[in-house]
């Protein structure tokens, strides 16, 4: 049965999954890139961006690959799509990723402001959903068919789906970095009460990878 998954989501030792003050120059917030070093060195990441090289087959690369594998649809928060706030001033902003985003499937963006679908290269079409997280998930399930749906972020979006009990599987990469401030992923959430238990754990030099699933 298809699952709703969070995968490849980094968490600092002090619980933050993004830095403060997201901007055009800091898509992950200030110092946010530090918690994704486990991902950036992998062959999976470099292949996604049309680059060669990178670590192949290690723990990080295995989890990086699974974090992008077998998804038929993605759901992103507005901030994950870009730094534009409020009503869309125009259709010029098309995401952080250039003309060929790494999703290659229907991708649903949560927003309070209407915008026409945006078709990109490589099979990615962004659909802008104004009806909330349940509407976005219903649309994603229809689009995904027999494949999984990935809740791609950012932090607020993942928290909303966790709080609503709509996530089946959660892969966290716990990294040895202290951000000090940022967007907290799990503050106020009781994953045990939500039905999660750890089903897999592997470590690399960069991160400890934890997979949590509902019983």
The DSSP code for 169 is: E
pLDDT at 49 over 80: no
Per-residue pLDDT band at 39 (split at 50, 70, 90):
very high
Q: Domain residue spans in the chain? A: 4-19+30-84+100-214
Per-residue pLDDT band at 66 (split at 50, 70, 90):
very high
Q: Token digits for 6? A: 């969070």
Backbone dihedral region for residue 20 (phi beyond 0: left; psi -120 to 50: alpha; all else: beta): beta
Output the CA–CA distances (angstroms, integers) from residue 121 to 12, 84, 92, 112, in the order listed.
33, 22, 16, 25
Looking up tokens 């090289």 gives 53
Per-residue pLDDT band at 56 (split at 50, 70, 90):
confident
Pairing state between β 125-129 and 118-119:
antiparallel
Query: What does the pLDDT look like over 92-116, one tens digit per residue?
Result: 999 999 999 999 999 999 999 999 9
pLDDT score, position 50: 79
Task: Order across the sheet with 125-129: list the strands.
Answer: 118-119, 125-129, 106-110, 71-76, 148-153, 4-12, 169-175, 208-214, 196-203
Q: Which helix (H) or strand (E) holds 73?
A: strand 71-76
Query: What does the pLDDT look like over 147-206, one tens digit per residue?
Result: 999 999 999 999 999 999 999 999 999 999 999 999 999 999 999 999 999 999 999 999
> What residues have CB less than 8 Å from 205, skipping those under 6 apart?
none
pLDDT score, position 48: 85
Output the CA–CA distances (angstroms, integers) from residue 16 to 82, 94, 109, 205, in the order listed.
19, 27, 22, 19
pLDDT score, position 53: 87
The DSSP code for 34 is: G
- DSSP labels, 27-77: TT-BTGGGGGHHHHTBHHHHHHTT----B-SSHHHHHHHHTTSSEEEEEE-
Pairing state between β 208-214 and 196-203:
antiparallel
Q: Which CATH architecture has domain 4-19+30-84+100-214?
A: 3-Layer(aba) Sandwich (3.40)
pLDDT score, position 52: 85
Backbone angles phi, psi at 28, to 5 degrees: -100, 15
Integer Cα distance of 133 and 110 in angstroms = 7
pLDDT at 27 over 80: yes
């Amino acid at each position: 049965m298809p699952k709703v998954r969070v995968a490849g989501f980094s968490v600092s030792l002090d619980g933050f999954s993004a830095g403060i003050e997201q901007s055009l120059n800091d898509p992950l917030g200030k110092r946010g890139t530090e918690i994704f070093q486990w991902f950036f060195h992998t062959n999976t990441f470099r292949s996604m961006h049309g680059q060669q090289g990178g670590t192949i087959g290690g723990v990080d690369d295995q989890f990086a690959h699974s974090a992008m594998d077998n998804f038929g649809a993605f759901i992103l928060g507005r901030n994950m799509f870009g730094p534009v706030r409020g009503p869309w001033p125009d259709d010029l902003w098309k995401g952080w990723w250039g003309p060929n985003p790494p999703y290659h499937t229907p991708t649903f963006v949560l927003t309070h402001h209407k915008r026409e679908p945006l078709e990109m290269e490589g099979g990615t079409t962004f659909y802008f959903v104004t009806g909330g997280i349940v509407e976005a998930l219903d649309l994603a399930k229809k689009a995904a068919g027999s494949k999984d749906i990935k809740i791609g972020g950012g932090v607020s979006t993942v928290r909303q789906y966790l709080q609503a009990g709509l996530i089946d599987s959660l892969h966290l990469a716990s990294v040895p970095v202290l951000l000090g401030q940022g967007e907290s992923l799990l503050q106020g959430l009781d994953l045990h009460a939500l039905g999660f238990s750890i089903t897999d754990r592997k470590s690399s030099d960069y991160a400890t990878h934890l997979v949590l699933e509902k019983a």
